[in-house]
Structure 1
Amino acid sequence: LRTDFRLTVSFDGQNHLAVTVPSTYAGALCGLCGNFDGDPHNDIPKVVTTAVPGCDEPAPRQCSSRAVISRKQRANGEECGLILWPEGPFRSCHPRVDPESYFQVCITDYCVFRGHKPIVCQAVSGYAAACQEAGVVLEPWRAKTFCAPACPPHSHYELNGTACPATCSHPDSPETCNLPATEGCFCDEGFVLSGERCVPPPDCGCHHQGRYYHREEEFYPGDGCAERCRCTAMGTVTCWAAQCPPGQECRVDKGVRGCHGGQRGRCVLLGARRLVTFDGLNFTLGGSCRYVLAKVCQGDGPELEVMLENGGGVTVAVGGSRITMESRSTWSVDVDGETRVLPLSVDDGKTWVTQEGNSIVLQTAPGHRLVYAATAVLLVTVPSTYAGQMCGLCGDFDGNGDNDFMGPDGTPLNGSQELVVAWKLPDESGPCTDTCETCPVHPPNATGPYHTASSCGMMVATPGPFGGCHGQVGPEDFLEHCLREMVLTAGATDTLCRSLQAYTTACQEAGAPVEVWRTESFCPLPCGENSLYALCARSCEGSCARLAHPLPCAGLCFEGCRCARGFFTDGHRCLLPSTCGC
């Protein structure tokens, strides 16, 4: 970012942020960067006067071997020492940018993260970026065995590349660029940048009212939501009149203008047995075949289809990919038949899948979310903009549960038995049945013992651990399922624990508060070595995969196991950063 008063701000998206101002601002600044008066000793205020609510001061991370690491790397010129090495690739930068502070930061990161290579590479690249911003032409510092660059398709690495690469919007930018050189990945000959992808110029998107849009992207071109447009596959823009549905307002949310607000649609499958549709119809789901649970059937929105597998798993078709979650698998999913470790993203980052505590969470850019907690619960939630556009066993999300028994062709059906047959999918894995073989009817008074606050009744108890959730996710359907299952299993403890876990997951998916209800003697959740139970695990944020790459996480809070301080999740394991993978 550059202004006409000579302010420059550059950020590489990960670890290097630089702010430069002209000398006319000397002594007139404040903040973490200091006052720019020439005296570094007064840059840190004695008293912090501005506090952010809910943000506590983090405890300092201890590293007893820091001094030893510093002496060794300062002497041998390796890893962090590469920054200081008098005969190294950065020697021409030393007179322009003092390397000592960058070396100290690198040593601290090396020590705290136990020498994890991607972290060290980020620290060294931070000094490289500072050198280039100072106008220094760098010598090669990366090698096959140290910080080797990796670039996406149709691109390659350059050490001193242009800071103004050719894009679909500005294909001639390199010829007019007067910014310092920068290292990174650059499009191959015959390709230009379309967002973050390198594409042939004929595959570029659309320009409309001074802005660039990807092909097939939909957008609101003005300040309101009265007109919606699409960049077509032919590179032309088509627009039509639009308006927000009742209960929604036109606003910018998370950087995207659109119709926001309104109640999200939520379809709940409890224990692969009890289904609650988007419109609240509650019925027993019989059958052991493959079925369409939820699907976008109306409108021009992106593809989404959620399918129940006959083994208890679920498959999601979105963005041209098929993502399958198995009932006994965590920290991994199958993408188009290939097993992939979480977290991951597909469809150019428009869909991402993460492990959050006990649950696998799939999210899409348009706002669909699927939360899969294996045998306990499956949640499918969609934005209010998809009202009336859904179909499948979960119904159409039109606010009327009376018409949820509808076939693929729109024909009304008589009961759940006809419904499951209508939404049945071809299955080559073996014989299956569409009837419920384990759905016995029990007398009404059989549920009496399980209404107590120490059993299923805990869901509705006030005060109780779920009291703060009642206003956002009603407990009635979850309570009914819990009572039925407890009768069916003769009050088995693991049945109760699964039912309470299901309601916990639904509450946390909705962002509602839940208090601790597990104890060492009641529904304990065993965790592995170097990990412990947490009501808010945030497993994805503390994963090895995010140490060096800003992969997206769900942002929501789910219960489960989290790694102890200093350890990071790598699938089921909690590892020191030095032993994390690539």
Structure 2
Amino acid sequence: MKVNNTRAHLPISLNNGALRLYQSGTSLILRTDFSLRVSYDWNNHLRVTVPNDFSDSLCGLCGNYNEDHSDDFWTPAEDQEPSVILQEQSLAVEDEDQFCWHDCIGGCRPCAPSIARKYKEEALCGLITKVSDGPFSQCHTMECPLENSQYQLCGTACPATCVDQSAPSNCQDPCVESCQCKDGFVLSQGKCIPKGSCGCLFEGRPFAPNESFWVDEACGTRCMCNAVSRQVECVAAKCKRSERCGLVNGIRGCYPSSYATCSVTRNLHYATFDGQRYNFQGTCHYQLTALCKKGEGLVDFEVYFQENSTAPVQIKVYETDIRVTIFHIPCVLLLQVNSFLINLPFNLDKKITVYRQGWATVIQTDFGLSITYARWSGRTTVTLPVTYAGAVCGLCGNFNMDRKDDMLMRDGTLAPNPISFGQSWKVGDLPRCSAITIPPCASLEAIEKQQRGSRGQCGLILYKSGPFRGCHSKVDPNGYFIDCVYGYCFLSGRESNICHAVAAYAEACQEAGAIVHPWRTEKFCRESSVFNSDCPMGIVNSCWLVNLDLNPRLYCSVEHFLKMSSLQGVGTTQVVATGAVPTTCAISVVYLGPEKYCLAM
């Protein structure tokens, strides 16, 4: 939870106990010294209790507390609204949720008793409560998820904590159904820990042993809970030059003041962190970027790239090997973590997060490294915080704010050309891989001049009144235009390559928060041309790591897809889509439908 926008652990006691927050059973309790009590079960039940001193002095969704329920629907404008919905709208306050609403879309429909009875049947929701031989029967027994705790039907509402270990003996609240810590353990930060493992109490807030935190808004004082003395020790400190003090997700700290992005687009156009652009047509396994100079606070990592590979992007960080893997299944990408296939979204101890964003796979770390891979446009990006400036090396350059020395080879010397530079960062010896030397395009200058004056094809990127007009001030279009012209010249104006180049600029614009207006038409880069004919647009939104029959004539309607949250179905009977025939695949294979086969993973 957050107190004054800063994340805090329970229990909390502020202003000498005038405001207390603690956990009671499965609920959060807030108490004040004027007898206000608020409880919330972390789900949907909120209960507010006030003393009668506040009679006829309140307003809001709970009414005015004047012992007359007929006027409870009064609004701040002193108008009595005829419905709960209208009253809720009049009492709405600003918050960070941009997607809340006051009513059901299309109106809230009641659930008729006959419909409720139907869904209680065993064939539907009733399967959950089936006791004798039901699939969830072993889950019905009440067990506590907390280690070192036990279930109690009537346990104390005031559990012992590191802040107050004698709380149960002084509790006056009625008992609650809850998980209680076993003897010798107390509740701390949602866990039952040994009494001797408690940390420190600072200004009414508990902190774990060795936990450090900033105490002022300017990040001028850094404190830590001494694990031995259980006392908070504070010292003067400040953020680095490349950092700023701020609140992120409720945690005050020093955060990078800026970020830089390196990108690789289809046809292997590179742009380094410092903005140096070059072309390198290599098909081997290359080091895109990695930490090359150790430094305080810098986490070690490595990012590798290989064009036309089943695993084009590989990341090594926190002793974890992550690979974005392409299988020969239309519209399906998989993720390998330490050689195990996993589903998205994926989170590893809050240090690594992987998820889908549009058509791209996004890999983020807790120290600011972010990698995206969009198979459809062929664009890969690596973003790093400025704290890594001058500490990295690879095809993305050294990130020292000077593009002139970005082509430093592995031996530290400046490369004479992109091919020498790229080959110096080759990793391993893959058979039949190479760096291709492409002869100059004789008509490059003429094509560039023609495209600059055009409002279509590559010229669409530069067109001042075109679909990217809102992006030109945020993302320089010239580099993307040159890449597009380069592909146009060497590939004889093939539309698919022009589309990939324009799509790469569109993605960069969206990443920068710019508004991109529709740029695809029926005659130019139409949507269906972006995807494989076996994977129309309706499927792409639903088939990410989902075992589907990809025949568009049978199962392509989005509403027919059975979305699966994990790969637990691999190797078992699985219904792939409405109307599909269940089948059994062997271990490590994916079912592709009744007219197809089980494909080896």
Task: Calculate the TM-score normalised by the size of structure 2.
Answer: 0.65
Q: Is 1:23 the counterpart of 2:52 in the alignment?
A: yes
**CA deviation digits over 1:450-481, x for unaligned, max 9?**
44222122122122221112222222222222
Helix, strand or coil: the match of 2:464? coil
Cα root mean square deviation, aligned: 4.9
- Amino acid of the structure 2 residue aligned with 1:224: A
- 1:294 corresponds, among 271, 289, 295, to 289
CA distance in 1, matches of 2:264, 2:156: 53
Structure 2 unaligned spans of 5+:
1-29, 76-80, 130-134, 547-555, 567-574, 579-601
CA drift of 1:339 comes to 1.2
Q: Is 1:258 the counterpart of 2:253 in the alignment?
A: yes
- Amino acid of the structure 2 residue aligned with 1:305: E
CA drift of 1:8 comes to 3.0
Identity %: 31
- 1:478 corresponds, among 467, 477, 480, to 480
User: Aligned residues, how many?
Assistant: 492
**CA deviation digits over 1:489-522, x for unaligned, max 9?**
2222222222222222222222222122223444
**CA deviation digits over 1:354-391, x for unaligned, max 9?**
11221112223333322221252112223334434433
- 1:72 corresponds, among 103, 117, 122, to 117
CA distance in 2, matches of 1:529, 1:25: 63
Helix, strand or coil: the match of 1:480? helix
Helix, strand or coil: the match of 2:504? helix
CA distance in 2, matches of 1:71, 1:301: 56
Choose between structure 1 and 2: higher helix proportion.
1
- Amino acid of the structure 1 residue aligned with 2:137: K
Which residue in 2 is equivalent to 1:515? 517
Cα distance change of structure 1 residues 117 and 513 upon mapping to structure 2, 3 Å threshold: farther
- Amino acid of the structure 1 residue aligned with 2:431: P
Which residue in 2 is equivalent to 1:124? none
CA distance in 2, matches of 1:361, 1:397: 21
- Amino acid of the structure 1 residue aligned with 2:304: M
CA distance in 2, matches of 1:186, 1:69: 40
Task: Give the stretch that moved more between structures: 50-59 or 336-345.
Answer: 50-59
Task: Give the stretch that moved more between structures: 279-288 or 223-232.
Answer: 223-232
Q: Is 1:279 the counterpart of 2:279 in the alignment?
A: no
Write out aligned runs for 1:194-213 (5 A): 195=189
**CA deviation digits over 1:87-125, x for unaligned, max 9?**
xxxxxxxxxxxxxxxxxxxxxxxxxxx96999x9xxxxx
- Amino acid of the structure 1 residue aligned with 2:505: Y
Helix, strand or coil: the match of 1:315? strand
Helix, strand or coil: the match of 1:333? strand
CA distance in 2, matches of 1:147, 1:396: 57
Write out aligned runs for 1:221-236 (5 A): 221-226=215-220
> Rg bigger for which structure?
2
CA drift of 1:9 comes to 3.3
- Amino acid of the structure 2 residue aligned with 1:299: E
CA distance in 2, matches of 1:226, 1:458: 50
CA drift of 1:395 comes to 2.5
Helix, strand or coil: the match of 1:371? strand
Cα distance change of structure 1 residues 64 and 220 upon mapping to structure 2, 3 Å threshold: closer
CA drift of 1:273 comes to 0.8
Task: Give the stretch that moved more between structures: 416-425 or 368-377.
Answer: 416-425
CA contact (8 A) 1:299 1:389 kept: no
- Amino acid of the structure 2 residue aligned with 1:253: V
**CA deviation digits over 1:57-107, x for unaligned, max 9?**
665356878214565279x7x89xxxxxxxxxxxxxxxxxxxxxxxxxxxx
CA drift of 1:31 comes to 2.9
Write out aligned runs for 1:338-487 (5 A): 338-347=340-349, 349-374=350-375, 375-406=377-408, 413-426=415-428, 430-431=430-431, 433=433, 435-437=434-436, 439-443=438-442, 444-451=445-452, 452-487=454-489
CA distance in 2, matches of 1:150, 1:543: 32
Which residue in 2 is equivalent to 1:104? none
CA drift of 1:301 comes to 3.1
- Amino acid of the structure 1 residue aligned with 2:305: L
Greater RCO structure (CA 8 Å; 6+ sep): 1
Helix, strand or coil: the match of 1:499? helix
Helix, strand or coil: the match of 2:112? helix
Which residue in 2 is equivalent to 1:242? 238
Q: Is 1:335 the counterpart of 2:337 in the alignment?
A: yes
Helix, strand or coil: the match of 1:466? coil
Q: Is 1:8 the counterpart of 2:37 in the alignment?
A: yes
- Amino acid of the structure 2 residue aligned with 1:301: L
**CA deviation digits over 1:22-81, x for unaligned, max 9?**
33333333333433444555444425446779767665356878214565279x7x89xx
Helix, strand or coil: the match of 1:498? helix
CA distance in 2, matches of 1:335, 1:17: 41
CA contact (8 A) 1:530 1:567 kept: no
- Amino acid of the structure 2 residue aligned with 1:314: V
Q: Is 1:498 the counterpart of 2:543 in the alignment?
A: no
- Amino acid of the structure 1 residue aligned with 2:503: Q
- Amino acid of the structure 2 residue aligned with 1:242: K
CA distance in 2, matches of 1:343, 1:8: 38
CA distance in 1, matches of 2:164, 2:415: 56
Task: Calculate the TM-score normalised by the size of structure 1.
Answer: 0.67
CA distance in 2, matches of 1:476, 1:330: 33
Cα distance change of structure 1 residues 170 and 387 upon mapping to structure 2, 3 Å threshold: farther
Which residue in 1 is equivalent to 2:305? 308
CA distance in 1, matches of 2:103, 2:57: 30
CA distance in 1, matches of 2:423, 2:206: 46
Structure 1 unaligned spans of 5+:
80-113, 121-141, 545-561, 577-582
CA contact (8 A) 2:290 2:302 kept: yes
Helix, strand or coil: the match of 2:470? helix
Cα distance change of structure 1 residues 447 and 251 upon mapping to structure 2, 3 Å threshold: same
